[in-house]
Structure 1
Amino acid sequence: MIEAFEKHFKEKGYQQPTTIQTAVAEPLAAGKTVMGIAPTGSGKTLAFTWPLLPRLEAGAGIQLLVLEPSQELALQTTRVMREWTGLIGLKVQSLTGGANLRCQRERLRKSRPDVVVGTPGRVLHLLDNRYLKLDDLKTMVIDEADDLLTDDTQAVVEDIERQTPLDAQLAFFSATMSPQLAQAEVIFGKDVIKCDVRKQDHSRGPVQHGLLYARTMAQKAQVLEQLSYTKNFRALVFFSSIKTLHYTASRLRHDGVSAASLGGRQRQVEREKVMRQFRKHQVKLLLTTDVAARGLDIPKLPAVVNFELPTSVNEYIHRTGRTGRQGEPGLVINMGDDHDFRDLKHLLADTEYKLEPMSINAHRLTTGKSSRNKDAEPVRSQNNRQLRQGQHRREDSVQKTVHRTLDRFSKPTKRRHKKQRKNKGIRLRHRREHADQ
């Protein structure tokens, strides 16, 4: 580590580099093609930041390209790298989909960055339209490589790699190994030094994995409501379906729960606002999908909730890796019924995860009890009952308004009123005449 980095490292209170940071430092600094596999939260971003940045020369063109699978992760990596590039006079720019394309082109032209962090689609678009040039590139980092080297994005990543210099260095980083990532040497035609430290790395804190019985979406939403009233509780809530995510987010907000959503076709400005609110503890529940939240680093996140259970071990690892980072304790809550739990236990049978039954009562989460009990449908809190009473009052008010409106339209028109008065007058006159006789 260079002197400027070492000084800042100590100022931030770091004790020593993590296992993955130590393992990849020398081969990366030597220009080798490296594959770093380490658990979530083990410091993989800094693992390639520290050895690669000192190799760059300020103002000599784009020399380092980092590809990320999502806008949020690209912006997060940009923030981390900017903290260290500023120490040695380098410039970094993010290029992500969802951001203003014209502004990105202008910034590329005016600021002339040394480092670019982007999503594959936007980077390839700018390359194909000659707004981005990689003639001076020294290193391309494929972060979250198990996700980027899939059927959906692998072709895009390969197209980008073909537009880099032949002698450019490649680096792959991931928390899990996928079949495509295992074939990286064949795909890119380079000898790869593999640094897999998953067994040696112990940087993760103790994480408790629980099973909380909730059969229907309504029951699951009620559980989230109760959890949101628990003191100091914050959680990333994972969904497999964007439709279910939007439905649940709408329901929770309607019931007064502090919740926000991340996913779908949100603009980048909206995504940044949501993440900022969650990091500042202004939002208790952040509802998201696997793609949107992959790789996100949220310091001291207390819990992760699987509203819809993952269907693969890798998916479970990436979801649950958002909590218990950097030695902090964490909690994972898996919601479902007996059938869901049986499938999840079978899925995780060959892993080290131990699933414990949980129950919730009066905003208290307890373990070691049967997950299916009288609390399966949580009793609403006093605050929530008041919200419901307010909702009923609003509904009564709406119904009264509707009835008044219907009554008004069901009453006779002005002409009919006039005719009725005329007929009434005629009847009264006839009665008087009859009485006089």
Structure 2
Amino acid sequence: MTFSSLGLSPALLAAVAQLGHSRPTPIQQEAIAPALAGRDLLSSAQTGSGKTLAFALPLLQRLQPNTRRVRQPQALVLVPTRELAAQVGEVIQALAQKLPQRVKVSVFFGGVSINPQMMSLRGGTDVVVATPGRLLDLVAHNALKLDAVALLVLDEADRMLDLGFADELAQVLMQLPAQRQNLFFSATFSPGVTALANTLLHDPVRVEVDAAQQQPMEIIQRAIAVDTAKRTQLLRQLMQQHAWPRALVFVATKFAAEIVADKLRKGGLTAEPFHGELSQGKRTQVLTDFKLERLQVVVATDVAARGLDIVGLPVVVNFDLPRSTQDYTHRIGRTGRAGEPGLALSFVSSSTQAHWRLIEKRQQVQLELESVPGFEAQDVAPPVSTSADAPAGMGNGGVKGLRPSKKDKLRAAGVLPPKAPA
């Protein structure tokens, strides 16, 4: 199948070709035609599937010539993070360059001053890409009205709910006209996502693209056994030994991001932390430097696990294992994109072996736990309880949602009496 068979205008076909896309991905093949026909969509596809084009192309084709004296947005794209907002905005702006009529695309997110964003809305806009909080701020300042929105896109809906945007989403929906088209994209259909879709969508076309249908990501996965205290030294050696020009390194906390980046700098590598507490200016600068290869290593929390498209990123390192197996998928999906090969390394210490086994099980992979000469693991793994009397969640490797509760820990320590049998 080609893009020309999907009903796109010649201008958009020229824009797609200029961006280097020759054939539509499975999510684009299934989503573009019904979206062009005005249908609501409930779409599921994993990271790297090409879903930005799947909604951006119909969005631009369905725009009507804006004849108002002050333009009002006809399309609204809601996203969970600043980086994803900037990335989606860039794609829509690039596609719009070939259109016969001028299309103004505005991108709004928090973490920066609202005043320049308000100034940019003088004369109005056609398409808004925004995080929910900053969008509501602009509405509250009377800088933006949403009563002409004819098309709403929710991108990474599952992530939005994970980050606690449910109340803000409800407030945004109240500002929109009841009659509109809705395109709903989510990596997973959790109960919260399903409930939101049932409220939001009218007779939707359901599009689900599983891993087998997607263009294969050429990612080699490896796991290395290493003691916790030696991980930074091992990372430095691997960077030098393999001459990786760049590596995206995931850690569990913003504090760890700062510490590991500092240690890498002291070891002679150009490295910067990346986490949600940095100013937007700093985050933008770090990503720019990384993409231009002025930085060798970015040490990031899971704020970088979705939405970042870094061309030619050779390796992702799980310095700390992710809390959930879903986060593992999104992390390693930062490499091996657009048909290029990539490598995903996971450091496994004695205390995280049980958690790693669960990740393997849920990802349906089984990797040899390798050793690197000079960094052989010496620590002994803690015992894992398999007793039927063990408190709920014990011995699960720390998977999110399955950790022992505070009461379980107190029962295990003998402070509280055992839980009564069911």
Same fold (TM over 0.5): yes
Partner of 1:347: 359
Q: How far off is 1:348 after superposition? A: 3.5
Does residue 253 (structure 1) correspond to residue 260 (structure 2)? The answer is no
Residues 145 and 283 of structure 1, relative CA distance in 2, 3 Å threshold = same
Matches of 1:120 and 1:178 in 2, distance apart?
20
- After TM superposition, the structure 1 = structure 2 runs for residues 280-319 of structure 1, keeping only pairs within 5 Å, are 280-319=292-331
Does residue 14 (structure 1) correspond to residue 14 (structure 2)? The answer is no
Partner of 2:224: 212
Does residue 357 (structure 1) correspond to residue 364 (structure 2)? The answer is no
1:377-398 deviation per Cα after TM superposition (whole angstroms, max 9, x unaligned): xxxxxxxxxxxxxxxxxxxxxx
- After TM superposition, the structure 1 = structure 2 runs for residues 358-373 of structure 1, keeping only pairs within 5 Å, are 358-360=370-372, 372=376
Q: Secondary structure at the match of 1:317?
A: helix
Q: Secondary structure at the match of 2:162?
A: coil
Give yes or no for contact 1:236–1:285 (8 Å, CA) kept in 2.
yes
Residues 155 and 307 of structure 1, relative CA distance in 2, 3 Å threshold = same
Give yes or no for contact 1:228–1:285 (8 Å, CA) kept in 2.
no
Q: How far off is 1:161 after superposition? A: 1.3
Partner of 1:92: 105
Partner of 1:221: 232
Matches of 2:163 and 2:46 in 1, distance apart?
24
Matches of 1:352 and 1:202 in 2, distance apart?
17
Q: Secondary structure at the match of 2:22?
A: coil
Q: List gaps (5 residues or longer) in structure 1.
A: 363-370, 375-437
Partner of 2:418: none
1:168-224 deviation per Cα after TM superposition (whole angstroms, max 9, x unaligned): 2221213333221122333436333221111442313221211112222x3111122
Does residue 105 (structure 1) correspond to residue 118 (structure 2)? The answer is yes
Q: Between 346-355 and 299-308, report the one with greater CA deviation.
A: 346-355
Matches of 2:125 and 2:76 in 1, distance apart?
11
Does residue 83 (structure 1) correspond to residue 94 (structure 2)? The answer is yes
Residues 268 and 330 of structure 1, relative CA distance in 2, 3 Å threshold = same
Give yes or no for contact 1:41–1:204 (8 Å, CA) kept in 2.
no
Residues 346 and 265 of structure 1, relative CA distance in 2, 3 Å threshold = closer
Partner of 2:132: 120
Q: How far off is 1:144 after superposition? A: 0.9
Does residue 178 (structure 1) correspond to residue 193 (structure 2)? The answer is no
From 324, 331, 336, the counterpart of 1:324: 336
Q: Secondary structure at the match of 1:232?
A: coil
Q: List gaps (5 residues or longer) in structure 2.
A: 1-7, 379-422
Matches of 2:294 and 2:331 in 1, distance apart?
22
Give yes or no for contact 2:348–2:356 (8 Å, CA) kept in 1.
no
Partner of 2:254: 242
Matches of 1:295 and 1:307 in 2, distance apart?
20
Matches of 2:328 and 2:207 in 1, distance apart?
22
Matches of 1:12 and 1:78 in 2, distance apart?
15
Give yes or no for contact 1:58–1:90 (8 Å, CA) kept in 2.
no
1:130-169 deviation per Cα after TM superposition (whole angstroms, max 9, x unaligned): 2211111011111111111236111111211121000122
Give yes or no for contact 1:40–1:325 (8 Å, CA) kept in 2.
no
Residues 339 and 192 of structure 1, relative CA distance in 2, 3 Å threshold = farther
Q: Between 194-203 and 275-284, report the one with greater CA deviation.
A: 194-203
Q: What is the RMSD computed on CA atoms of the aligned residues?
A: 2.2
Partner of 1:64: 75
Q: How far off is 1:347 after superposition? A: 3.2
TM-score (norm 1): 0.79
Give yes or no for contact 1:304–1:331 (8 Å, CA) kept in 2.
yes
% identity of equivalent residues: 35
Q: Which amino acid aligns with 1:222?
A: Q
Residues 291 and 190 of structure 1, relative CA distance in 2, 3 Å threshold = farther
From 23, 35, 54, the counterpart of 2:30: 23
Matches of 2:13 and 2:163 in 1, distance apart?
40
Give yes or no for contact 1:58–1:114 (8 Å, CA) kept in 2.
no
Matches of 1:321 and 1:47 in 2, distance apart?
19
Give yes or no for contact 1:209–1:353 (8 Å, CA) kept in 2.
no
Partner of 1:390: none
From 190, 209, 233, the counterpart of 2:202: 190
Matches of 1:205 and 1:219 in 2, distance apart?
30
How many residues matched?
366
Q: Which amino acid aligns with 1:95?
A: F
Partner of 2:43: 36
From 173, 179, 200, the counterpart of 1:161: 173
**Higher helix content, 1 or 2:** 1
Matches of 1:67 and 1:129 in 2, distance apart?
19
Matches of 1:332 and 1:153 in 2, distance apart?
30
Residues 247 and 350 of structure 1, relative CA distance in 2, 3 Å threshold = closer
1:34-63 deviation per Cα after TM superposition (whole angstroms, max 9, x unaligned): 122112111111110111111113435201
Matches of 1:40 and 1:94 in 2, distance apart?
21
Residues 63 and 259 of structure 1, relative CA distance in 2, 3 Å threshold = same
Give yes or no for contact 1:38–1:201 (8 Å, CA) kept in 2.
no
Residues 373 and 205 of structure 1, relative CA distance in 2, 3 Å threshold = same
Residues 192 and 353 of structure 1, relative CA distance in 2, 3 Å threshold = farther
Q: Which amino acid aligns with 2:44?
A: I
Residues 200 and 347 of structure 1, relative CA distance in 2, 3 Å threshold = closer
Higher Rg of the two aligned structures: 1
